Amino acid sequence: MKRIAKANLAELLSAMAAEAKLYVPAESDGIVNFVSWQEGLAVELAALNVLVPPKKFFYPQTETVLKYEMGEDLQIEDFACKAGEKAILFAVRPCDVSSFAMMDKVYLEEPPDEAYRRRRENTTVIALGCTEPDEACFCQSFDIDAAKAPGADVLAVDTGEELALVAQTEKGEELISALNGLLSEATSGDENKVKDEQEKIADRYVTSVSLRGIKERLAGMFAADYWERLYKRCIGCGTCTFLCPTCHCFDLQEYAAGNCGERIRCWDACMFADFTQMAGGHNPRPSQKERVRQRFMHKLNYFPQQHGDYACVGCGRCVRKCPVNLDILEVIREAGGGTDGL
């Protein structure tokens, strides 16, 4: 374990930026997002969740897949093999770190998505442990330990005046040794302080849900009246899907002009009417009811059936940001999960 005074954070960031492209949470016009770090930028360490989840670094909202040109021959330029600059994500919250493992199940299973794989490989993730969840945080219900982040390369723990840094992977070790000049060795006192901080959080949640049996119960609820009641206030915007760290559905679009063109991949949302619109005009999810059902079924039934895990990490973004307060907490509770703590 290493440590550094928070007063020297700027030096640490500067040194990291020399190693790779560095992204940090920063506030602008009242909104905290991950942005590219530059000298003098104030890093926001207090905010729990940044607005747009860091999935965007591996699975960007918009990316070029290929470009083509029809001449004598068809020329195709592949962009996937160029993806993935060396990058460091600093201060990713443990719920978001957990979302990466979940996304890996989609994009790294055979056949892996090359662009995603390259970005994952070239990125070093530094997690920032949480000590004070807010009322919309319920990662604990998904067995995520918000004080730790086993999926991160480095875990940072805020101990007040200092940050403690623990390398958790080989990539993490490499980064820590590259920064060694700035770091001091942690003492056993520091280690105790970190342990204290990490233990505090378990009792600080005010919201939790029980997932026991939810997957099975939802399996029998496809035709339930429940969705009829639930969907009515959904306005069909993409807030929940775009801000969800585990939503991963995309659309492929052609931007063609003359004899050349570009194929892009962009985030899509199952809340949008055109998400399942067929070329002939048919839409298998004709109303918002089917779309809302799909979103929650996917997270709590289909995904766990296919991949073993729920497609939710309890980050609470949909709870905080849904304009009509239609969120996954409500569905877990009403579809038969426990209500303990709410």
Footprint on this chain of other proteins (rule: CB under 8 A)? 28-31, 33, 51-52, 61-62, 134-136, 206-207, 232-233, 235-239, 242-243, 251, 253, 255, 264, 266-269, 272-274, 277, 321, 323-326, 329-330, 342
How far apart are alpha carbons 284 and 287 in whole angstroms?
Answer: 9
| Minimum CB–partner distance for residue 190 and other proteins (Å) | 28
Residues contacting 112, CB < 8 A, separation 6+ = none
How far apart are alpha carbons 288 and 183 in whole angstroms?
Answer: 53
Pick from 245, 267, 266, 258: nearest CA to 318: 245
Region of 330 on the Ramachandran plot (φ > 0 left; ψ -120 to 50 alpha; else beta): alpha
| Closer by beta carbon to other proteins, 14 or else 253 | 253
| Minimum CB–partner distance for residue 27 and other proteins (Å) | 11
| Minimum CB–partner distance for residue 15 and other proteins (Å) | 28
For residue 33, give the 3-state DSSP assignment: strand
| Closer by beta carbon to other proteins, 207 or else 294 | 207
Residues contacting 291, CB < 8 A, separation 6+ = 231, 234, 236, 270, 271, 272, 273, 275, 285
| Closer by beta carbon to other proteins, 114 or else 330 | 330
| Closer by beta carbon to other proteins, 16 or else 318 | 318
| Closer by beta carbon to other proteins, 14 or else 283 | 283
For residue 32, give the 3-state DSSP assignment: strand
Phi, psi of 76 (to 5 degrees): -120, 125
| Minimum CB–partner distance for residue 322 and other proteins (Å) | 9
| Minimum CB–partner distance for residue 146 and other proteins (Å) | 14
| Closer by beta carbon to other proteins, 220 or else 286 | 286
| Minimum CB–partner distance for residue 106 and other proteins (Å) | 20
| Closer by beta carbon to other proteins, 292 or else 326 | 326
| Minimum CB–partner distance for residue 30 and other proteins (Å) | 5
| Minimum CB–partner distance for residue 225 and other proteins (Å) | 13
Phi, psi of 220 (to 5 degrees): -100, 10
| Closer by beta carbon to other proteins, 150 or else 236 | 236
DSSP per position, 106-167 = HHTSSSP-HHHHHHHHHEEEEEE--S---TT--GGGGT--TT--TTSSEEEEE-SSEEEEEE
What's the distance, CA 338 to chain centroid?
A: 25
Q: Is the Cβ–Cβ distance between 194 and 159 less than 8 Å?
A: yes
Helix boundaries (H) for 165-213? 170-178, 188-200
| Minimum CB–partner distance for residue 63 and other proteins (Å) | 9
Task: Report DSSP state, residue 273.
Answer: G
| Closer by beta carbon to other proteins, 33 or else 294 | 33
DSSP per position, 56-107 = GGTS-SEEEEEEEEESSSEEEEESGGG----EEEEEE-HHHHHHHHHHHHHH
